[in-house]
Chains A and B, each alone.
Chain A
Amino acid sequence: MDHTSTLEKVLRGVLITLVLVFFLFPIAWIFLMSLQTNETILRIPPSVVFTPIIDNYTALITGQLRTAAGSLQLNFMQNMFNSVLLSVCSVALSLLLGVPAAYAFARFKFRLGEDIAFTLLSFRFAPALLVLLPLSLYFKSMGLTNTYIGLIWVYQLICLPLILWIVRGYFEDISPDIEHAYRIAGNSWWKTFTRISIPLAKPGIAAAGLLAFIFAWNNFIFALILASADKQPVTVGALAFVTASGIQYGQIAAAIIISITPTLALALYAQRYLVEGLSMGAVKG
């Protein structure tokens, strides 16, 4: 029963504000930084009063970075393209492999089924570096180092377990009777899978795909070690701003703003799927 007093309401409001300030401040600050030169950023004491400039953004887009020490070539747009390509392709591949696998794990109780599913999840437990050393050696001998295919493959370590476990929960929530009813009505199992199971698990698939996309997008270590400059995503590309003449805070901030835009837009768009997906599918007991 709801017996809230006025004091409780006020306290609750204050707490929520504090939490919001704590979490949103960095983003706001980064945004302000991206509109300043290094000098105004680093002045002491700091101030929120400045003349906004868009030089940082133009530098990123044109690829020409002018610093005190001279001009520098930037690969940022290439990095951006790599990020999009790697994330989209690995999520697509993960969905292609993970959704049918999730269905199998949800519907068929086969020998070692649980163990296989758990093993897949356990890839997420190990620190990435542990996997990376042997992988980089294999990749070298297989000629996969610094290829998109190699990276997309490695990204499956991130995306596949996520999609598998979230979507599996969704498939388990669909009453088998609904599938049986469609089967008995005269449809093959494949048609049943594509016309009944997938549409009904759609919110889960969307949520899992989005999460996987965010995780893939934000990955740093795999690409740092397995790819060189022309295949690196923005997370790694940002290192280029640590130049001989100092750290280019303005450009880094602009790069961050540009690079979080796609995921932020996606996340906002699919927010309700996300919450549903996280709270219903995967956590189901």
Chain B
Amino acid sequence: MAELVLSKVDKIYRSRKGDVHAVRSLDLTVAPGEIVALLGASGCGKTSTLRMIAGFEEVTNGQIVLGGKPIHALPPAARGVAMAFEAYSLYPPLTIGENMSFALKASKLPQAEQNTRVKAMAEMLEIADILNRYPSSVSGGQQQRASLGRALVRDAGLYLLDEPMGQLEPQLRAVLRGRIKHYLREHKCTTILVTHDQTEANALADRIAVMEGGVLQQYATPAELKVRPANLFTGTFIGEPPMNVFSAEVKAVADMVRFDVEGGTTLSYPAAEISEPLRAKLARTPRVALGIRPHALHLGEGPVRGKVMACQWLGDQTHVAVEVGGRTVVSVSQERVSRQPGSDVSLAVAARDLHLFDPETGMAIAHGGSLA
């Protein structure tokens, strides 16, 4: 258990074809015992960051400090980090059990203690029955769990998990998420998890670092990311289904605030529902990008009119795609609703569910009627 601090970390891959700036001036602090997810699409720099912390990639600029000690110049083995690889990287000539106990061999733990640990870990990950098999004879999902187990079973200052559950079946994944989170908490493991799956990040992490284009977009709790996205990227990236975004003109008239949305829809709210400072700001802002989460777009009476394109019931919720002024918007109901494709519907959205962004910079202006 140790604190990890990345300050002004850059990663530049130099090649004859030109330099690739994979990570830009990244500042990130992970508190002792905290679980942090690096979340982003492929190529966003999350894996480069993880590999720099592990020591497989050189840090171009900046420093990485673990438990008060700079580690970015140390070779990987001297850093005291445990890592689970996306590609498993199990040792083929060793059994699953031997793979898991391999890292413990170096520790001075008594043999019996090592065995108990491996066994307990294998039970948690539901691979106890394959401990004597070789990696090549088990499925990808089992190899992945073995790789995860090999990392977690060690005593390390920091645990790095690269897409640790990508190969698992959905049912098993849901169960293991809970168990792994519980384990990490109980052992107060400082953990960094790299994933492209926001459900996984939300379920496991205390804080999520959203990355895009090598730049940290926002570093906050899952709830904060959802309610107060710092910019348009996080706003549309976080949340399933993704946020609907429109370009809108602002007309602040005396006691009403009006948004003329592209495609001819108008949203009007009594001034009382919009905070005073925000109204002042809007008076100076002619155009905004208007973000509405699908769950906040309610079917029924409302100012937004359109035609149903698709209506899909998923058991515990219904997704309705509606064409409004040539654009497709998505509304989610928690109940089962049934609308025929082609039929007319109205949609409503409350002022408290609006997210406003600067259309040029993408930075958040307001969330739910008050300034960001």
Residue numbers of A with Cβ under 8 A of B are 1-3
What total of chain B residues lie within 8 Å of the partner, measured CB to CB?
7
Complex interface: chain A residues within 8 A of B57 (CB): 1
Q: What 1/0 mask marks residues of chain B from 53 to 83 whose CB sits below 8 Å from any chain A CB?
A: 0011110000000000000010110000000
Complex interface: chain A residues within 8 A of B76 (CB): 1
Q: What 1/0 mask marks residues of chain B from 299 to 325 whose CB sits below 8 Å from any chain A CB?
A: 000000000000000000000000000
Complex interface: chain A residues within 8 A of B56 (CB): 1
Task: Give Cα distance in the complex from A3 to B58, angstroms.
Answer: 9
Task: Give Cα distance in the complex from A2 to B56, angstroms.
Answer: 9
Complex interface: chain A residues within 8 A of B73 (CB): 3
Count: A-B pairs, CB below 8 Å: 9
- Chain B, Cβ-Cβ closest to A2: B58
Consensus secondary structure, chain A interface: loop
- Chain A, Cβ-Cβ closest to B56: A1
Complex interface: chain B residues within 8 A of A2 (CB): 58
Q: 3 tightest CB-CB pairs across the interface, nearest first?
A: A1-B58, A2-B58, A1-B55
Complex interface: chain A residues within 8 A of B58 (CB): 1-2
- Chain B, Cβ-Cβ closest to A3: B75
Within 8 A of A (CB), among B76-123: 76
Name 6 extra pairs, CB < 8 A, besides A1-B55, A1-B75, A2-B58: A1-B56, A1-B57, A1-B58, A1-B76, A3-B73, A3-B75
Task: Give Cα distance in the complex from A1 to B71, angstroms.
Answer: 12
Min CB gap B19→A, angstroms: 16
Min CB gap B76→A, angstroms: 7
Task: Give Cα distance in the complex from A1 to B52, angstroms.
Answer: 9
- Chain A, Cβ-Cβ closest to B76: A1
Task: Give Cα distance in the complex from A3 to B75, angstroms.
Answer: 9
- Chain B, Cβ-Cβ closest to A1: B58
Task: Give Cα distance in the complex from A196 to B180, angstroms.
Answer: 46
Complex interface: chain A residues within 8 A of B75 (CB): 1, 3
9 A-B pairs with CB atoms under 8 Å apart are A1-B55, A1-B56, A1-B57, A1-B58, A1-B75, A1-B76, A2-B58, A3-B73, A3-B75
Complex interface: chain B residues within 8 A of A1 (CB): 55-58, 75-76
Complex interface: chain B residues within 8 A of A3 (CB): 73, 75
Task: Give Cα distance in the complex from A92 to B241, angstroms.
Answer: 58
Min CB gap B90→A, angstroms: 15
Min CB gap A3→B, angstroms: 7
- Chain A, Cβ-Cβ closest to B54: A1
Q: What 1/0 mask marks residues of chain B from 34 to 55 whose CB sits below 8 Å from any chain A CB?
A: 0000000000000000000001
Task: Give Cα distance in the complex from A2 to B76, angstroms.
Answer: 11
Min CB gap B344→A, angstroms: 41
Min CB gap A112→B, angstroms: 25
Task: Give Cα distance in the complex from A25 to B57, angstroms.
Answer: 39
Min CB gap B67→A, angstroms: 20
Min CB gap A50→B, angstroms: 42
- Chain A, Cβ-Cβ closest to B73: A3
- Chain A, Cβ-Cβ closest to B55: A1
Min CB gap B22→A, angstroms: 15
Min CB gap B81→A, angstroms: 13
- Chain A, Cβ-Cβ closest to B51: A1
Q: What 1/0 mask marks residues of chain B from 327 to 340 whose CB sits below 8 Å from any chain A CB?
A: 00000000000000
Task: Give Cα distance in the complex from A93 to B73, angstroms.
Answer: 57
Task: Give Cα distance in the complex from A1 to B53, angstroms.
Answer: 11
Task: Give Cα distance in the complex from A3 to B72, angstroms.
Answer: 11
Task: Give Cα distance in the complex from A1 to B11, angstroms.
Answer: 13
Task: Give Cα distance in the complex from A1 to B78, angstroms.
Answer: 13
Min CB gap B280→A, angstroms: 53
Q: What 1/0 mask marks residues of chain B from 156 to 173 whose CB sits below 8 Å from any chain A CB?
A: 000000000000000000
Task: Give Cα distance in the complex from A3 to B78, angstroms.
Answer: 14
Task: Give Cα distance in the complex from A1 to B73, angstroms.
Answer: 9
Task: Give Cα distance in the complex from A1 to B55, angstroms.
Answer: 6
Task: Give Cα distance in the complex from A1 to B60, angstroms.
Answer: 11
Complex interface: chain A residues within 8 A of B55 (CB): 1
Task: Give Cα distance in the complex from A2 to B73, angstroms.
Answer: 10
Task: Give Cα distance in the complex from A259 to B58, angstroms.
Answer: 48
